[in-house]
Structure formats: C-alpha cells, structure tokens
Amino acid sequence: MNKDLSFHCLQNQMRQGDLSAQSVLQGCLDRIQAHNSSLNALIHLDAKDAMQQAVQIDQAIQRGDNLENKPLLGIPVAIKDNIAQLDQPMTCASKMLRQFISPYDATVTRALREAGAVLVGRANLDEFAMGSSTETSFHGVSRNPWDKDRIPGGSSGGSAAAVSAAFCLGALGSDTGGSIRQPASYCGCVGLKPSYGRVSRFGLTAFASSLDQIGPLTLKVEDAARMLGVIAGHDPKDSTSVKAPSEDYVSGLGQDIKGMKIGLPSEYFVEGLDPEVRRAIDVAIKTLENLGALICPISLPHTEFAIATYYVICTAEASANLARFDGIRYGHREEGKDPLELYNRTRGSGFGEEVKRRILLGTYVLSSGYYDAYYLRAQKVRTLIRQDFERAFEKVDLMLTPTVPSTAFELGEKASDPLQMYLTDIFTISANLVGNCGISIPCGFSENPRLPIGLQLMGRPFEEQKLLQVAYAYEQATQWKMEPPL
C-alpha cells in the first residue's frame, strides 16, 4: 500500500483488482503491531472485526455490487474513544468508564460504516477530552511519531498520532478548543474542525456542549473533504445540528484561488511565537500570494480575552456535563455508607486530576454569587469576540494564522503548569467560541529536531468548501508531503 495515495486513488485500485481492502487493512495492522506499543495511539484494537469488514468489502467488489455511494470504501479509520461505536469500549480515557461498552453507534460512526469505511480501532485521548497533550489518559500517555519523547498534542492526540504513523488512513477527533487542529499540527497531518452544528454530536461524550465539534484527521486535504462529506448533515437526534444544505466538499478542490482575500490577524503574530514557526508561516503566506491570493492585515481586538473566556465557559459546561458520572447509573462505583459518601468516593477516585480541576473551576464560576461575575461576563465577552470575527469577515474570505505557537514539546514539560499547557491552544480556541470552521495543514518542519509545523486557516461558519479550496491549493503548491515519520 502506497501511503501517498489519496482515498480515491486507493479505491480505484481496489475496484480494478490491483489492491484489496484486506491488503490495505493488513498494511495498517502490520504498522500497529510494530509501533503501537511505543506510541500508545490506539488503546483498543479489534483486528478480527476489522478484517471481517474488509472481507465483506472485497466480496462486494468481486460480486460487482453498486458501490458508488461508498465514498470511504475500504479505508481504515480510527475513532476517538469518546465517540460511541456499537459493542466497542468507550472509556473516554478515564477510570470512570474503564469497563463501559457502547450499546449504540454515534451518528458519525454509523455514517462511516454506511460509507464503507473499515473501523480499525479506538484512539487514545486526554481524559474526557480535557487536555492539550494526551498525557492525562487513564491508559497512559501517547507519543509523537516524529519524536517519541514528545507529546502528540491533545486532546485528539491518539487520533493524530495514528494517522501520522499510518495505523489508519483517517480518524475522527473532537475539537472543543483546538483538539483536532493542534495535534494535527504537532503530528504533521490535516485536521479539520467543522462549523458548530455542521456535524452531529449525537454519541459524542459531552465536554463543553456549546464548543464541542467532531471532525476528521487525514494525511491529505482531499481525504478530509471526503470524510466531512460523509459525516456532515442535519441530525434530529442532536438539537444543535443545523439544517444546512448538504455540499460536495470535493467538487471545489482544484479551483483557482486568485483574488481570494486572506486576512492576517495582528494579534496572532506576537512575541512568544517560535521563530521557526514564524518563518514557516511567512513562507506559506508568500506561497498563497504567488497563487493569486490577496493578503490583508486585520485585527481581532478582543483576542487577549479569549483564553480566560474559554476556560470559564468550558469548565462551567464540563461541571454540568460530568455530573452524570455519579456511580449510580453506570461506570465506576465506590460504595459508601450513604449517597453523599458514594458520590464523593466514586468521583474522587474515578476522575483524574485535570478533570477534577476543571470540575472544581466550573462549579465555582456557576455558584451563587459568582455566576454573574464569571460565567455571564464570559458569555458577554464571547459575543464581543464573535463580533470581531464578523467584522473581519466583511473584509476577507478567510483568516490565516499559525496553528500553535511552537512545535511539539517534550513529555512532562508542561504537565505541572496548567496555565502554560492551556496557552498552547491560544490560536485555536476562538474558532470554537465563535463557531466557525478551521483547518490545520502541514507547512514545514523545524530544523533541530525535525518536527512538523502547522498552518491554520479559518473561515466563516458553514463555508467549509471555501476553506478546503484554499487549503488544497496550498497543499498542491508545496512539497510538504506526508513522509513516514517511522
């Protein structure tokens, strides 16, 4: 299997008999066998079930079945372990759910099955998706395929590492403040956060309900577009799902971007940005100019308040969402002499330190006497940040920023300093507060050590097609091919 081939090219080879779904899957399984013990990207693998899926696909191809409505036919895909998959573990990387088996499919998981994808395994994450490094997982840390002494990012670090290491050709992640785009940058792959409401959240374990969104991680922009086309759409099971018309996200790829206005927010190009990241971004800007894009300076003046606003809102919503894990209905349970002791012992031992920190913060900002001072004020500032973006998008088609301020840091480097860890998401969280779409694509490498650097593009809500059009044009004009890190 040639990992440089797109989904479409691989599928053509399968249909022509040059490749089989089984051989494609076996190539991934061989890499998992060789490297997952050191990377810990996948925390559950059902190779027998995955091979059975591949066998059924090969049989359907041999019978000549009509498979034109299977855009992910035979493509091995991993699922982040906070997204439901029928009869598979869904632990959310927490002791609280270490023995939980999902009784149903999330809407996105069912969509992948119906599109012909081979579901190959469950990807590691920060516990309940609360983290930026995949170091808070009950199943142990995940490592970056480019340097095993470094983090892969988070919270979708397992998904990004699995794609980067070719354990699968695509993966699903969830993005609450950058949890798809940030690990995509650190691991050298493509990570797409769709607009809020574009993709159903039914079956996603809620962290912060007004911020969470499911999206794909892949090796190529075209593949991300194909995965989005499969998982996007209105779902009556999700009250936040928007009745937006379905789009063919692949059809706009390859179109000229001449005259497209791309904004550079001055607040994202500040002191503290790693010089090598800045150089790579500057070269990327020049590449887009050479493609005919118009680069426009813009300002998002309330950016300085984004981190504080985000961590008030997300912890408040996390406190409410995680109240359901009480030891009564399902999951981890520690007995006590009365219900209060049962709750205290269950939640005290079932949740990790970072999750407990966020629950405590969220409960505090929602408490009597503090709600107006913190949560209500944060929502008002969120409105100001949204208005900044709306005014900027009156002048430009897209925005361009670094995805993260630096390349991947070493394991344990920021683990004891939550504030420094939170600051790694400084360039990504605004897209979640606003609800617009964003993508991270590879744009270069640092020199010593050689680590991937990511470029972030952000578009208006529900303008993923334009976002992907520019991302694809940049990808095709550069030499940042996904060379195997292992």
Question: Catalytic residue numbers?
Answer: 80, 155, 179
Angstrom CA distances, 290 to 238, 256, 264, 283, 455, stand at: 42, 12, 16, 11, 17
Separate counts of helices (H) and strands (E) for the chain: 15, 11
Burial class (CB in 10 A: 0-12, 13-18, 19+), 439: buried
Give phi and psi for 120, each to the nearest 5: -100, -20
**Spatial contact of 207 and 128, defined as CB atoms under 8 Å apart:** yes
**Spatial contact of 296 and 479, defined as CB atoms under 8 Å apart:** no
**Spatial contact of 136 and 352, defined as CB atoms under 8 Å apart:** yes
Burial class (CB in 10 A: 0-12, 13-18, 19+), 291: middle
List the structure tokens of 175. 């993005």
Q: Which of 17, 121, 18 lies closest to 76 in space, CA to CA?
A: 121
Rounded to a whole number of angstroms, the distance between the first and last alpha carbons of the chain is 16
Distance from chain centroid for Cα 139? 19
User: In what helix (H) or strand (E) does residue 45 lie, and over which residues does it extend?
Assistant: strand 42-45
Q: What is the CA radius of gyration of the chain?
A: 21
Q: d(Cα 197, Cα 239) in Å, to the nearest integer?
A: 9
Task: Report the half-sphere exposure of 87 (CA within 13 A, side-chain side).
Answer: 3
CA angle 91, 3, 453 (to 5 degrees): 70
Per DSSP, helices labelled H in 40-106 are: 47-63
- With a CB cutoff of 8 Å and minimum separation 6, the contacts of 480 are 442, 443, 444
Q: d(Cα 365, Cα 373) in Å, to the nearest integer?
A: 8
Amino acid at 100: F
In sequence order, the β-bridge partners of residue 458 are 399, 438
Q: d(Cα 174, Cα 3) in Å, to the nearest integer?
A: 24
